[in-house]
Amino acid sequence: MRLLHTSDWQIGKVFRFADDDILPVLQQERLEAIGRIGRLARAQGAECVVVAGDIYDHLRPSERTLRQPVERMRQFPDLRWHLIPGNHDFNERDGLWERLARTGLPDHIVPHLAPVPAPLDAAGTAWLLPAGLGHRHVIGDPTAWMDGAATPEGTIRVGLAHGSVRSFGEEAAGHNLLAIDRARLAGLSYLALGDWHGAMRIDARTWYSGTPEVDGFDVGGAGGGQALLVTLDGPRAEPVVEAHAVGRFRWARAQAVLTGADDIAALEGRLRAIDPDDPSRVLVWLAVSGALGLSDLEGWQARIVDGLGSALRLLRIDGAPGLAPSSDDLEAFGPGGAVRAATETLARQAGEGDEAARAVAAAALQRLYLLARDVAGGMA
Amino acid sequence: MSGGMILRGLEVEQVRRFGDAVRLAGLGPGINLLGAPNEFGKSTLLAALRAVFLLPHGSKARPVAELQPYGGRGAPRVAVDFTLDGCDWRLEKRFMQRAFVRLEGGGERLDGDAAEARLHDLLGVEGGKRGAEAMGLLNALWVGQGHSLVQPDFSDPARATIRSCLEADLDAMTGGDAAGRVLSRVAADLAVLLDGRGNPRGRYRAAKEGEQEAAAELARLEARRQALEDDLNAMADLRRRLAHEDDADRREKERADLAEAGRVRDRLRDHDARYRAARAVRDHAAAQLAAVRQDLAGRTAWERDLAAGVARVAELEGALLTAQGAQDAAGAAHAARLEAVRVADAARQAARGALDRAAGRVERARLVHERGEAAAALDRLDRAAQAVTRASAELAACTIDDARMGAIRKAERALDAARAASRAQATTLDIALADGGRGRLVLDGAALESGRVVVTDNAVLRIEGIGTICIEPASHGRDTLRAALAGAEEALRRALAAVGCADIAGAEAALAARRQAELAAQAAQTVLGGLLAATGQSPVTAMDVARRRLADLDVRLGRIGAADGEDIAGDPVAVLDAAREAMQVAEERYGAAHQALLAPDETMRRAAEDLARLRAEWQVARDGAAQLARDLEAARAVEADEALSARLAAAHAGAEAAELALLRIEETRPEGTEALADAAIQRLERTIQEGHARLAALRQEMAAREARIRAAEGDGLDERIAAQERLRAAHAAEDAACAREVAILQCLRDAVAAAERAATERYLAPLARAIQPALSALFPRAVATVEPDFSISALSRRIDEPFVNLSDGTREQIAVLARLGLADLMRARGRPAMLVLDDALTYADSGRLDRMFDILTEAAGRLQIVILTCRTELFTGLGARRLAVEAVGDATAEGH
């Protein structure tokens, strides 16, 4: 049989850095990914889709957010959609999953809220062992019960769980930790995991699918944007796992030290090369340092900030190139003018005092150059 | 005067009071003076000058309207002829109706806006907005009345003009203009973010407010989420409670418990009824037994009380006897005390008698002594009186006294004198007797001895054995002398006879005796006086008193009598003291006895009381015993003692039987009590009842909670919180960006402004230099402080004096000097400049005025100065061109 393994849809996720224009686009694209997953499954002949938790980003989404993914899945009645609660949308009493049930789910959308084996497909050739979360943080291994869970003889056992096979760090230590060899212990043909946003193979039978639409600049594994097509030829057969791209946006981090026009051009080339066909699919978080002359500073503004900023879906810039005025820039003010004196004052201030005051003085100096040149140009 | 501006002619028509065209005549280089009284129109001419040069001809602004003739419409027309940089110009403007402008000169002839533009160019001014005056330095130099006290207030173009003049003096451009433009750009950028008071505005304010609103909304959402979580927790709790309440087994058990409790209570009630009946029987038997026992006990008690009463009577009789004895003893004791009082009284009387006697004896002795004293005094008095009498008699017996003695002595002295006179006439015989001659010589019968003999009278000397010699003294006055002598002798003899004395010696002796007698009398008188001195009485009275006192004492002595107490031996005083002591003792004894008698007799009273009480008790006891005896007798008559005993036995048996029956019933009592059973029933009933109510309440509350939860969940709280957090972060970032932008702009503004200020200060120096010569001339050794806005803020002479503190005259003079300096500076830089002073220098004293004249005269070598004044006399020393206002025949004709 074939199934499509996905997780961490995080529907309703809010991106703080995104402005009012881009946020709806990012949110919308996460919904669109469901359609792409459905179409992929259909195209690849998969009978069902297993979603390994975190369908929703929030425990209490709005009614529209709650219904939107259901409506997307409703478009694929030929597929069985198996869902489990994750740590973001854990099964709270009187909570999200009860709301979802009250909306009246179609039969092909199956939430698994209790650790009870259930048939994965209509024929019952494979059984699903779901380990949804009942709390944000579960003490103990939620998959432990699978070891002793009985399924009909000769059927394929597929585990579905949400959590870490190892701790992400001190903070999360001890919560929702899964035994790394659960597939072996519980005799699973395949263990479909969610929680990590990048696709990752733990062992031949244990995989993280990652999120179908990337949602961060720093994600582990393959970085997300994929779904896993899993082919299970029998209870003992090793699963064949293929990763398929389903995401639209590319998220990238970049760094640049700018000292001249060449650097700017190189940076622009680099960023445009991320997706030469469609830069609007690219989100970049750029860290910039260095210093430029007046004209290069204009080039930076024009080519990167304004140009690339418009081309890319998002260009988030940390820092800015400083101003390194050339002797020509200084000459524009004449040898003894008040503006010239002011530049000297600001240059001095930019080199002394506390960090914040220095930064302000440097920015003021840069502004003065630009203004003075504008003024001079206006006079000319 | 090259490079300067010279006003050569001014014509006005239809300007305020000047309806017809007039011309200011006589204008030329140097100082021009128009002296004219008030209301002449000097200020009008200045206004016309400003209008033609500075106001656009098409303007209908207030300054133009104000030029119109008084009380009517009109088209003010002004024309000027001036020389600028050696080129002659004529400018003519008409305002309001048919307004026009024409500028001719240097081969040009311009009209309309072209003329205005050229004019601005010539003058170096900027056109004003909406018909207002063009702005430049001339505005500041051409000031009207009332402005001469204040320093020039420069418009921006004026300042720019001055600055450019000053900058031209420096080696390089200062860039002040560029700095100004930068500053205005920065100010404009800042104004987008900050309002006039420096508070955020626009997107800055929106960011701040947005952040606050988002934070507030976030807080509201968080609170709602908290409420939702509370609801969820409450819901879980409610569900647990509901499951508990809704348990069917539990409810069945409660019902069964209730039925069982009812049965238990019925059994308890049945048993209780039987028990109560048996207990009533038992109580009745016990009551009968108690009654019998009571009767029996009553009879025994009576007997016991009777015996006790009889014994008591006997006891009381004995006590009565004792009490009687005690009372008798007390009476005897009282009598004894009475006797003691009587005896003590007698003793006291005896002691008093003895004391009286002893006192009488002492008194008598005292009286006897006193009588002795009185008798002695009388005797002394008597004797003294006798002595006085005796001495007085002796004294009276003396015949001689001092006067008589004096007469005697006088007679003797007269006799002696007579004898001496006789002797002086006598014969002297000096006899020298030879041995054996003695007695042989006899004169007149007297034998002579050797020596001198005086013979005064005839004498016969016989010498024994010889014969006789008769001697007759030869004296012629012998007879007289003899008679004198005889008279003297007679007088003496009579004096002596008067005192009864034979001779003088006798008289002397008698006189001495008299003296003795006087002394004796005096002494006796003194004694008597001494005795009487105490009483101050005459001797007779004194003696009478003494005698009466004696008689009185005799009487008292007689009263006392001699017989009483004479027999008592010893010292009367000691006897008296002893008697007194004895009396004291007797009194004390009497007092004690009396006290004993009078003291309350507790024993006797108690004895009487006891007696009375015992008698009463005895009476009662006797009566009681008698009554008891009678009662007992009566009771026995009703029921004999034997019958009573039989009744007791029967009652005893009945009681025991009833008690046994009760015990048997008690042994069959079921467990528990009726109250406990009732409580259990009530509790179970309540539990069941309340269970229903709780169930209903729980379902109601759950429904309410569920509705709330669904409402809250439907809102998508978590999602909205996330969205709100994003919003707040976005606003915060915007706020930070704005704050940074403001900081940058302010930093930039401060730096440029400081630089501009510094540059300005540098190029102010030429202005200060331009003003300084005139200033020094007026205020020796003074230095002016010039501000960046070209005003003079202070004058330093010895100390800094702020401009506003200077006197009106000094301020006015400085204001004129400042304008003069500026005009000078302008002229030196080839800019058009001339000065008009309207009614200036009116505050100057004559010394200052002279120096101002010198300064103006000196400046007038470079600069045209027009002075308008109503006080022509002040300016006579100035040597100025005199201006006059003349009518123009045909202004337009002349203009063309």
- Subunit contact B725:A14, Cβ cutoff 8 A: yes
Question: Angle B380-B383-B385 (CA atoms, 0-180°, nearest 5)?
Answer: 110
| Interchain contact A136–B (C-beta under 8 A) | no
- Subunit contact A16:B729, Cβ cutoff 8 A: yes
B428: which residues sit within 8 A by CB, 6+ positions away?
B452, B453, B454, B455
Q: What is the mean pLDDT of each run of 10 residues along chain B (896 residues)?
A: 75 88 89 86 86 86 83 85 88 89 89 88 77 72 67 65 60 57 84 87 90 92 89 87 81 86 87 87 87 86 88 88 86 86 89 86 84 86 86 83 86 85 77 80 82 78 82 72 84 84 83 85 83 73 84 83 59 83 89 82 80 87 87 83 84 86 84 84 86 85 85 81 90 90 89 79 71 77 73 74 77 80 76 81 78 84 86 79 80 41
In B, minimum Cα distance to A97 occurs at B713
- B203's tokens: 């997107």
| Interchain contact A376–B (C-beta under 8 A) | yes
- Subunit contact B759:A18, Cβ cutoff 8 A: no
Q: What is the DSSP string of B91-137?
A: EEEE-STT-EEEEEETTEEEEHHHHHHHHHHHHT-BPPSTTPPPBSH
What part of A 309-348 touches B (C-beta under 8 Å)?
333-342, 345-346
- Subunit contact A340:B714, Cβ cutoff 8 A: no
Q: What are phi and psi of A45, to 5 degrees?
A: 75, 25
- B547's tokens: 């005698």
| Interchain contact B703–A (C-beta under 8 A) | no
Chain A contact set for B181 (CB, 8 A): 375, 378-379
Chain B contact set for A13 (CB, 8 A): 722
| Interchain contact A354–B (C-beta under 8 A) | no
> What's the distance, CA A230 to chain centroid?
23
Mind telling me how many Å the CA of A353 is from chain B's nearest CA?
13
- Subunit contact B758:A338, Cβ cutoff 8 A: yes
Chain A contact set for B722 (CB, 8 A): 12-14, 57-58
Mind telling me how many Å the CA of A41 is from chain B's nearest CA?
30
Residue with tokens 């016989």: B462
Question: Angle B656-B658-B662 (CA atoms, 0-180°, nearest 5)?
Answer: 115
- Subunit contact A337:B175, Cβ cutoff 8 A: yes
Q: Closest by alpha carbon to B461, among B444, B473, B448?
A: B444
pLDDT tens digits for range B6-58:
899 999 998 888 888 899 888 888 889 888 888 888 888 888 888 888 888 88
A187/B481 Cα distance (integer angstroms): 225
Report the SS3 class of residue B15. strand
- B565's tokens: 């107490």
pLDDT of residue B701: 87
What part of B 146-175 touches A (C-beta under 8 Å)?
170-175
What part of A 35-94 touches B (C-beta under 8 Å)?
57-66, 92-94
In A, minimum Cα distance to B723 occurs at A14
Chain B contact set for A334 (CB, 8 A): 172-173, 175
Within 10 angstroms of residue A173's Cβ, the number of other Cβ atoms is 11
pLDDT of residue B168: 54
pLDDT tens digits for range B317-345:
888 888 888 888 888 888 888 888 899 89
Which H/E stretch holds residue B882? strand B881-882
Long-range Cβ contact pairs of B249-256 (< 8 A, separation 24 or more) = B251/B688, B251/B691, B254/B684, B254/B687, B254/B688, B254/B691, B255/B688
- Subunit contact B756:A338, Cβ cutoff 8 A: yes
| Interchain contact B176–A (C-beta under 8 A) | yes
Q: Which residue would you say has higher pLDDT here, A15 or B843?
A: A15
What is the b/e burial string over B601-631, where b = at least 16 CB atoms within 10 angstroms of the residue's CB?
A: beebeebeebbeebeebbeebbebbeebeee
Cite the residue boundaries of each domain of chain A with CATH code 3.60.21.10.
2-245
- Subunit contact A375:B712, Cβ cutoff 8 A: no
What part of B 719-738 touches A (C-beta under 8 Å)?
719-720, 722-723, 725-726, 729-730
B125/B136 Cα distance (integer angstroms): 4
Going by their DSSP bridges, the two strands B108-111 and B427-431 should be labelled as unpaired
- Lowest-pLDDT range, A53-57, A185-189, A372-376, B634-638? A372-376
Report the SS3 class of residue B387. helix
Sheet with B87-94, side-by-side order of all strands: B108-111, B100-105, B87-94, B77-84, B5-13, B22-25, B884-887
Q: Closest by alpha carbon to B49, among B164, B118, B133, B148?
A: B133
Mean pLDDT computed over A267-289: 91
B796: which residues sit within 8 A by CB, 6+ positions away?
B782, B783, B784, B785
Nearest to B186 among A60, A341, A371 (CB): A371
A297/A292 Cα distance (integer angstroms): 6
**Backbone φ/ψ region at B445: left (φ over 0), alpha (ψ -120 to 50), beta:** left
pLDDT of residue A219: 64
- Subunit contact B179:A14, Cβ cutoff 8 A: no
Q: What is the DSSP string of B729-790?
A: HHHHHHHHHHHHHHHHHHHHHHHHHHHHHHHHHHHHHHHHHHHHHHHHHHSTT-EEEEPTTS
State the burial class of residue A324 (Cβ atoms within 10 Å of its Cβ: 0-12, 13-18, 19+): middle
Domain annotation for chain B: domains and CATH numbers: 5-152+791-895 (3.40.50.300), 427-472 (no CATH)
Give the largest Cα separation in chain A, rounded: 95
- Subunit contact A14:B723, Cβ cutoff 8 A: yes
Chain B contact set for A335 (CB, 8 A): 172
- Subunit contact B751:A96, Cβ cutoff 8 A: no
Just give the CATH number of A2-245. Answer: 3.60.21.10
In A, minimum Cα distance to B731 occurs at A19
pLDDT of residue B2: 44
pLDDT of residue A375: 67
